[in-house]
Amino acid sequence: MKKISIIGVPMDLGQTRRGVDMGPSAIRYAGVVERIESIGYHVQDEGNIEIAPAERVHSDSKTNLKNLSAVADASERLASKVHEVVTQDHFPLVLGGDHSIAIGTLAGVSKHYQNLGVIWYDAHGDLNTADTSPSGNIHGMPLAASLGIGHPTLTNIGDYTPKVKPENIVIIGARSLDEGERELIKEKGIRVYTMHEIDRLGMTKVMEETIEYLRSKTDGVHLSLDLDGLDPHDAPGVGTPVIGGISYRESHLAMEMLAESNLITSAEFVEVNPILDERNKTATVAVALMGSLFGEKLL
């Protein structure tokens, strides 16, 4: 029986809107353990990574990056835990927290693969650096950091860099990219399916192309799913909602196709903020999508 280890990361230091630290609790409350066990997996809840309280965190005056040392510290702890879980041959399922946690997740996972693929399911590219970020919020930087681009404190988590190659990344759902991110995407040749492509091609074609593209060149694929990839109508409890997103049904189809592909070797679901939510709707959506990702079927 396949074993899944759940790791909670109650991190809200990568951005400035409080409440996303409650995301792991909200997802657990929405029944994630029971849902995945009902599909036939053995689920081990590893509890939460310890995060420094926001009010005790001070930013380094030499950089515009908010909470740099605290985010780096949490990333190292998460990387170590994820590494331990993968070593035990468990599938790591990480619950966020803001998207800066992906720095730690990828640092822990990528050690185990020669050519890790990454599906970045998100309204944003998260490809900013200190030089290009309008805000200094690290949750807009994890993919850049994992490519080895940005502040060395972030790029060297786990004592190695890079974690992923640009040709092994597919971004799905992008509809809000900063100028520096657009330039980096073009420069590195990163494959991106914006909402325009999803509307034009349909989600079936987007996922078929993504799966084919990654299958040929990777030995494992990490799914990093930001709930703001979905339209705010379906997932209102996120810190940076962008209208015109992927629908609930399209997202289920994407997860179902990934389940059939058998490609995904690790995953994280991030940016669930119950304070901004409606009756825990977004966490419930996250759990339902996890069900589809792990092979839940109607018939």
Write the DSSP string, 259-279: HHHT-EEEEEEE---GGGSST
Residue 238 Cα distances to 14, 99, 184, 231, 294, angstroms: 14, 11, 25, 10, 23
Query: Is 277 among the residues known to form the active site?
Result: no
Tell me the longest C-alpha to C-alpha distance in the chain: 57
99 is catalytic: yes
Name the residue among 72, 60, 80 with its Cα closest to residue 100: 72
Q: CA distances (Å), 65 to each of 79, 134, 215, in order?
A: 20, 10, 35
Question: Could you tell me the two tokens for 235?
Answer: 């997932």
**Nearest-angstrom CA–CA distance, 263 and 156:** 27
Q: Is 122 among the residues known to form the active site?
A: yes
Residue 3 CA to residue 212 CA, distance in Å, equals: 26
Catalytic residue among 124, 151, 222, 252: 124
What is the per-residue burial (b if ≥16 Cβ within 10 Å, else e) of 50-77? ebeeeeebeeeeeeebbbbbbbbbbbbb
Annotated catalytic residue: which of 126, 231, 277, 296? Answer: 126
Q: Based on the residue annotation, tell me whether 228 is a catalytic residue of this protein.
A: yes
12 is catalytic: no
Query: One of 12, 122, 268, 296 is an active-site residue; which one?
Result: 122
Residue 148, by phi and psi: left (phi above 0), alpha (psi -120 to 50) or beta? left
Q: Is 226 a catalytic residue?
A: yes
Query: Which residue of the set 90, 139, 151, 252 is catalytic?
Result: 139
Catalytic pick from 12, 21, 98, 228?
A: 228
Tell me the CB-side half-sphere exposure of residue 277, using CA atoms within 13 A. Answer: 27
Active site residue 58: no
Question: Among 21, 98, 181, 226, which one carries the catalytic annotation?
Answer: 226
Q: Residue 94 in contact with residue 78, Cβ under 8 Å?
A: yes
Catalytic residue at 124?
yes
Residue among 99, 151, 222, 252 flagged as catalytic: 99
Give the residue numbers annotated as catalytic, written as ranges: 99, 122, 124, 126, 139, 226, 228, 271
